[in-house]
Amino acid sequence: MSPTLAAAAATGDLVSGATALVRSLVAEGVQTLFGYPGGAIMPVYDALYDVRDSLRHILVRHEQGAVHAAQGYARVSGRVGVCIATSGPGATNLVTGIADAQIDSTPLVCITGQVSSRVLGTDAFQETDVVNVTAPITKWNCQITRACDISEAVAKAFYIARTGRPGPVLIDFTKDAQIELTRFVHQPCVKVRSYVPRAIPSRAALAEAAALIDGASRPYLIAGQGVTLSGGEAALIAFAEKTGVPVATTLLGLSSFPTRHPLSVGMVGMHGKYGANVKTNTCDVLIAVGMRFDDRVTGDLNRYARQARVIHVELDASEIGKNVKPAVALHGDARETLEHLAHLVSPRSHDAWLAEFRACDAIEDEKVVRDELSPASGGLRMGEVVHRIAEATAGEAIVVSDVGQHQMAAARYSNFARKVSSVTSGGLGTMGFGLPAALGAKVAAPDRTVIAFIGDGGFQMTLQELGTIRQTGAAVKIVILNNSFLGMVRQWQELFFERRYSHTEMNNPDFVQIAAAYGIAGLKVAGREALSGAISAMLAHPGAFLLDVTVERESNVFPMVPSAASVSDVLLEA
Amino acid sequence: MLENRTLSVFTENRVGLLARVTSVFTRRNVNIESLTVSESEVSGIHRFTIVAHVTRELADKMAAQLEKQVEVIKAFVHDEAQVIHRDLALYKIELPRGGGGAILGRVLGDHGARELLREADFCVIEKTGSPDDIAALLIALEPFGVLEFVRSGSVALTRPMKKLSAFLNELEEAHVASW
């Protein structure tokens, strides 16, 4: 023992690495973490037992549930989500959620146990080289083999996860580092030399952008998740109202601008609004804020907004010019940049231009929306279920969705009146995300209604988290839009593979009975007449609730920009 | 246009960073032609010299993605005309018999190579030069019987680069930038 350690031991200041880790988490302000124990992380779980009354640990049923719950928690709380797993399979079960958080910019700190440093690299029991496995899907990661390094690494991890463009960070703790004694001293990280999370656009670029906006006759703004991540919702509204610019959002930008704001023109992208897509190719200035021109947004890049001068407001320098070359790059935080830009632009209105979007909306209403929300016949439509729930919750709910047709229905027909109200897996498109993410969202915002729209396919990927929902008592409202198909794949098979429905039909169990087995109330609805009553019953129920809604089996999501087509060629029907 | 381009990447010295640096290339299915890692002129800062056959546009995008890595300080892209490359090669050949020794001496002289080591039945030759020079000597030595051949990746210095310390100063200023 070193003289310093001996002195610390004499005064009782020595703690195990595991305790140092737990104290570091508390020092970083962690209140809740999601995890699953196992051999190589047991010292940390023992230390968690000491603080069980002050640090809430939620025991999930699968590590994938832990990471998605941490994502839902992070997205709604704006804090860093924390999940914890053991080595080997525990760690590899986190991988999908880490990749999801990386592509969707979600701040996470993932803690994994690792075999003892003495046996690293020997294929020891439950040993996986998780640092190498997760290197391409983490913002930063590291392995800790000495207790004295723990506190500094944890502080650095939280700093990196939440600053700049947020993302997932993983720290792998060998078991001996958890057991070894150390002196606990925690200092927040405030700087990493090689990493500059802040950026400020040049005055010249801001002036150039303002001149472009002032001179525009058909300006158009697309808001991405950068607006939400920067807390820039109010700044966006103020900027839009001053400039009169129509505002669309990306899938992850949903709820950054109120759905029913007079300047809102809906969502862009593969299943976005007709007007929001086609007007991309007629606007003269395109202001992209905190978004990354994902291929699901742009379609064919060679035919995307080629006529427009693009102003790209973006914090991640590697996104600027990656897909679309901007005329003006504003490398900075979305909120700060919008606030400063708002001072430089002149008040304008663009009523005639906005009316062009409304004319498109009228076409879309007639071709798509009317039949989706009020079908003359046939089974329930996903859109009408989402719409009824949006009306019943007055747009105040947090809407969580999984991935597929129901996700697009939830995105298209929800009414987002409040900010930070949409949680979905965008970039990675992770089926199975919805249920655990909804749990995390509800834990983060216990006073808000959390509606989880999930398809029958995705639900069965992580339905074991019903056990976590039961044990925590999180009152998540689960709405299964059940068509007994992997609906989005089936839609593509119908449209692009000559209706060859290869392995997309599902023979499903009774989901209400499954919920009942977990002690979760539920109802099955198959007809239009019972829908409103069932929604009311679900919302009135004090606890978690599962509503299994049988919807039209072979319905398609429109509008649709087919893969690699131009946004101008958005289809309104098959 | 597809061309060999050299990326000089300055990083912190940390375990695991090599995998992060190479994955920026491999995830785009870009083959790394050569890679060397060494210390730089600034203590504690490592320098990766990476040669890849890519367009300038892609090289610039990859440089941005390299700089996105937390522990990468700066990545520069250089076209061939801007860099001075050198590779190092070692050749182990059978000792020439009879009059072969004189011929070998001439070959080494012509190629600017030197004999590094001589044992009873083989010798080791060292050559520093461009990849083409090194390949040319390999062909010239074939008649003697090449027992082993090894070459390094390229190291490169560039003509028009600012001093690294200047960038470190700029980095410090970026940390405290405000509106």
Is the Cβ of A388 closer than 8 Å to some Cβ of chain B? no
Among residues 193-212 of chain A, which lie with CB inside 8 Å of chain B? Answer: 193-196, 198-200
Band (pLDDT 50/70/90 cuts) for residue B168 is: confident
| Least confident stretch, A5-19, A47-61, A117-131, B161-175 | A5-19
DSSP notation for A287-353: EEES----HHHHBSGGGSSTTSEEEEEES-GGGTTTSS--SEEEES-HHHHHHHHHHHSPP---HHH
- Residue that wins the pLDDT comparison between A82 and B80: A82
Report ipTM for this prediction. Answer: 0.91
Whether A126 is catalytic is: yes
Cross-chain CB nearest to A318 (options B11, B68, B71): B68
Q: Flag if A336 and B19 touch (Cβ within 8 Å).
A: no
Q: Do B177 and A200 lie within an 8 Å CB cutoff? A: yes
Query: What's the per-residue H, E or C state across B76-131?
Result: EEEEHHHEEEEEEEEEEEECCCCCHHHHHHHHHHHHCCEEEEECCCEEEEEEEECH
A488 is catalytic: yes
How far apart are alpha carbons B67 and A370 in whole angstroms? 49
CB-CB neighbors (< 8 A) of B70 in chain A: 139-140, 160, 192, 194-195
User: Which residues, including other chains, have CB under 8 Å from residue A365's CB and lie 6 or more apart?
Assistant: none
Query: How near does any CA of chain A get to the CA of B68, in Å?
Result: 7
B71 interaction partners in chain A (CB closer than 8 Å): 140, 194-195
CA–CA distance, B168 with A31 (Å, rounded to integer) = 38
CA distance B49 to B11: 11
DSSP labels for A27-71? HTT--EEEE---GGGHHHHHHHHHTTTTSEEEE-SSHHHHHHHHH
Instruction: For residues A564 and A157, give the distance between their C-alpha atoms in angstroms, rounded to a whole number.
Output: 38
Task: Give the containing element (helix H, strand E) for A181.
Answer: strand A181-183
Strand partners, A172: A112, A143
pLDDT recorded at residue A9:
61
A140 close contact with B: CB closer than 8 A: yes
CB pairs A-B closer than 8 Å = 60
CA A467 to chain CA centroid, nearest Å? 23
Which domains occur in chain B, in start order?
A: 3-83+155-175 (3.30.70.260), 85-151 (3.30.70.1150)
CA distance B84 to chain A (A): 27
Instruction: Say how far apart CA A63 and CA A85 lie, in whole Å.
Output: 7
Phi, psi of B139 (to 5 degrees): -65, -40
Distance CA A369, CA A234 (A): 29
**Could you give the domains of chain A?**
3-183 (3.40.50.970), 203-356 (3.40.50.1220), 379-551 (3.40.50.970)
Mean pLDDT, residues B138-156 taken together: 93
Angle A50-A54-A60 from CA coordinates, rounded to 5°: 85
pLDDT score, position A574:
87
The rounded radius of gyration (Å) of the Cα atoms in chain B is 20
Residue A83 has a pLDDT of 98
A162-209 pLDDT tens trace: 999 999 999 999 999 999 999 999 999 999 999 999 999 999 999 999
Looking at the predicted structure, is the pLDDT value of residue A1 above 60? no
The verdict on a CB contact (< 8 Å) between B70 and A192 is: yes
Residue A273 catalytic? Answer: no
Where does the pLDDT of residue B82 fall: very low under 50, low under 70, confident under 90, or very high at 90 and above?
confident
The confidence band for B63, taking pLDDT boundaries of 50, 70 and 90, is: very high
Indicate if the pLDDT at residue B84 is higher than 60.
yes
**Biggest CA pair distance of chain B:** 79
Q: Which residues in chain B touch residue A320, judged by CB atoms under 8 angstroms apart? A: 64
pLDDT per position as a tens digit, B4-29: 999 999 999 988 899 999 999 999 99
Position B99 pLDDT exceeds 80 = no
Chain A: residue nearest B58 by CA? A322
Write the pLDDT tens digit of every residue in A231-257: 999 999 999 999 999 999 999 999 999
| pLDDT bracket for residue B100 (50, 70, 90) | confident
Task: Using DSSP bridges, classify how beta strands A81-85 and A32-35 pair: parallel, antiparallel or unpaired.
Answer: parallel
pLDDT band (50, 70, 90) for residue A350:
very high
Find out whether A458 and A404 touch, Cβ atoms under 8 Å.
yes
Put simply, the answer to whether B175 touches A142 (Cβ < 8 Å) is: no
DSSP A69-136: HHHHHHHHHSS-EEEEE-STHHHHTTHHHHHHHHHTT--EEEEEEE--GGGTTS--TT---HHHHHGG
How far apart are alpha carbons B139 and B143 in whole angstroms? 8
Nearest to A184 by CA among A307, A52, A19: A19
Share of chain A above pLDDT 70, in %: 98
Q: Which residues of A touch B177 (CB under 8 A)?
A: 198-200
Measured in whole angstroms, the distance separating CA A360 from the mean position of its chain's CA atoms is 29
Q: Which residues of B touch A195 (CB under 8 A)?
A: 70-71
C-beta atoms of B73 and A160 within 8 A = no
Report how far residue A438's alpha carbon sits from residue A476's, in angstroms, rounded to the nearest whole number.
7
